[in-house]
Structure formats: structure tokens, C-alpha cells
Amino acid sequence: MDTSKQQFRPSLPKAFTIIELMVVVAIMALLVAILGPSVSGALDHAKGAICGNNLHEMAKMLLVDGSTGGQHDLPRPSEWTEFINERGGEDLLSCPEDSGEKIVDEVDLSDIWLVQQQGGSIMFSNLQTIMDTGQSPEDRQVTRVTSSHGHSAESGQALIRIGSECALSRITFRGDVRIESLIVSQTHSCGSTHWYCLDDGLPDWRSRVATEFYRGSSDPDVFVMRLQGVGYNTKSPDFVLGYQQASYAMSNAVNVRRQRVGQLMLVEYKKPIAYIRKGGFAVDELGDDNTDKRGSLRTRHLGKANVAMTDGTVKGFTREQLQAEYDMYTVADPEGLWAP
């Protein structure tokens, strides 16, 4: 046999040694440490850009008449989400970052009046009633309403409707009462599109409520109940009562007509909770999830929160800038919608 020709065999790749493998892992870890914050910052910037674009589009809808391209009256803060929905902007009302993660960077703004949505309900355990603002405008005319411990009386045209759903009496209010939404636990729908009732009876509300009757200055023929007192839900909140939950709120300090240029109009916020404010109004305020703490506002995009101004521009405000801006608008009912 001719052995002068040796058979060719391909060489096998040299295996990594432990030291070489450790060097590769160390290099990869170093790259992650260097590039990780940049990638995370880029993602935060992208989310902030989407939320800011939502605000920009909604600001244009609110400020400019789509049919004429001209200015028009703003919707009331209690109606702005419905206004956006009617114009096909429902998807704009949610910021993509609202996926349930905990936001810890907040600024406390206890006296700010913001409104999140149109409809909603609020319950008072001492009155045994549900008040609902999500009703048809044709039923708004009324002259007088009284209520006490689940029993109600009326004069003038129909305002009150007492029902038996969920074995609870129901008082329905039309007009400009600013009750927007309430977060309560263990709720289910009672066959209605705009209110819920509890599986286990009334929620545990700590409430002190007195009633007075005021004439709405926007319509001299409309009398509505004005609430006085303070209250908050003491249960762990799981659901929002009302129509559209939004990631943004509209400032109640913005005039419906003749807005001041550069005034803050829309802002990102944490989560809606209804409060009965001492002094008269029930509003969908900025609120903390499980306490009566008020005024939590998100600065979630690289330490800033998006806001839309009355000139249509969108800006990013830090905690300090938000506080300074909001300090200018801490008076309830700046539009003078209520008059004794």
C-alpha cells in the first residue's frame, strides 16, 4: 500500500478556554452596561413622543373646527373626552405607557382642578343613593330637587328617577355637576352603559355631605345640586365608573371662550378618583390609588410630563415647572359656572 500520500483531514476548531469565555462574557456585560441606559432612554423618549403626539392631535381637535378650520368654543372639561371620541380620536386618549407599571416619580398638586371624562357615578353610603351625570341633555330642565336617606322629592320637570336595580335607589343629576368617575372594588354592570353597582352593597365611603341648591349661570332655568363636604373611597380601587378612562386630564381653569394664549390645557396624570371637595364641587381629580391623597401627576418621560397648551403646542415639564405652572391655577370654578 502506498503510504507516501497522507490522507487530508480538516482541522477542528480550537475550543474556548474558560479564561477566554470569561473575557467574552465580561465584554458583553460591559457593552450592556454602556449601551443599556441609552437604549432605555431611547425607548422612554419614543413613548414620550407618542404620548406627546396624542396630546398634539387632541389639542388640534379641541381648538380648531374640523369643518371650517377656524376656532370654536372648547368643550367643557366634563365633556372633552366625549368630544374627542365623536371625532374619531378614541385611541388618542390612552398613553401607551399606561400598561400597569408602577410610576413613582410624581408631583403633588392638591388644589388643581382637572376633569378626565364625561360620565360617571358616585355613591354616598349615608344617603343610600347613586348620582349619575352620564345622561341625555334633553332631560336637563329642572327647578328643584331634594333628597334625604334614599327618599327623594322633586318639583318642576323630571330630574329624579328612583330605580330598583341592585336594590339601590338612584338619583340622576343633569347639568354641570362635576362628578366624573369613582374607583370602587367588586363591581359589575347592572344592564346600563353608564353606571355600575356593587356585588356586596354600598362601598365604604367616608362622607360628610350637605346639600344646597344653586342656579347654573350657563342656563338660568337649570337648578342643580351643589355638594358640600369631603369624602373618599376607602376600599382598594379596581374599576373606574364612567365612560372613557383617559391618560390625560383637562384643566378646569381653561375658559371655554377666549382662552389665554399659552395656558396649560391638557396634561398627563396618574389615575382618576372622584373626590367631594370642601367648597362645593365633586370632580375627577388627580389622585393616589388607595388613599385620599390628591394631586399625583406623572413626570414619566425622562423626568418630564407632557402638557398641551392653548396655542396647540406640546411641552415637557419637570416637577418644578409643573408646580410653578399649576400654582397659577388653583382657584375652583374659574369660569364662574356656579352662582348662588
**Would the pLDDT of 57 be above 50?**
yes
| Cα 201 off chain centre by | 26
The pLDDT assigned to 144 comes to: 27
Between CA 90 and CA 71 the distance in angstroms is: 22
Q: Which of 86, 95, 99, 97 is nearest to 54 (CA)?
A: 95
pTM over 0.85: no
User: What are the beta bridge partners of residue 114?
Assistant: 251
Between CA 33 and CA 256 the distance in angstroms is: 50
- pLDDT tens profile 257-296: 767 777 778 887 654 433 333 222 333 333 333 333 444 5
User: What are the beta bridge partners of residue 223?
Assistant: 215
**Would the pLDDT of 305 be above 70?**
yes
User: What are the beta bridge partners of residue 251?
Assistant: 114
**Would the pLDDT of 229 be above 80?**
no
Q: For 215, phi and psi rounded to 5 degrees?
A: -90, 130
Classify burial at 266, counting beta carbons within 10 Å of its beta carbon; exposed 0-12, middle 13-18, buried 19 or more.
buried
According to DSSP H, which parts of the chain are helical? 18-63, 80-86, 319-326
Between CA 119 and CA 106 the distance in angstroms is: 26
- Res. 190 pLDDT band, cuts 50 70 90: very low
The pLDDT assigned to 283 comes to: 37
Cβ 125 vs Cβ 204: under 8 Å: yes
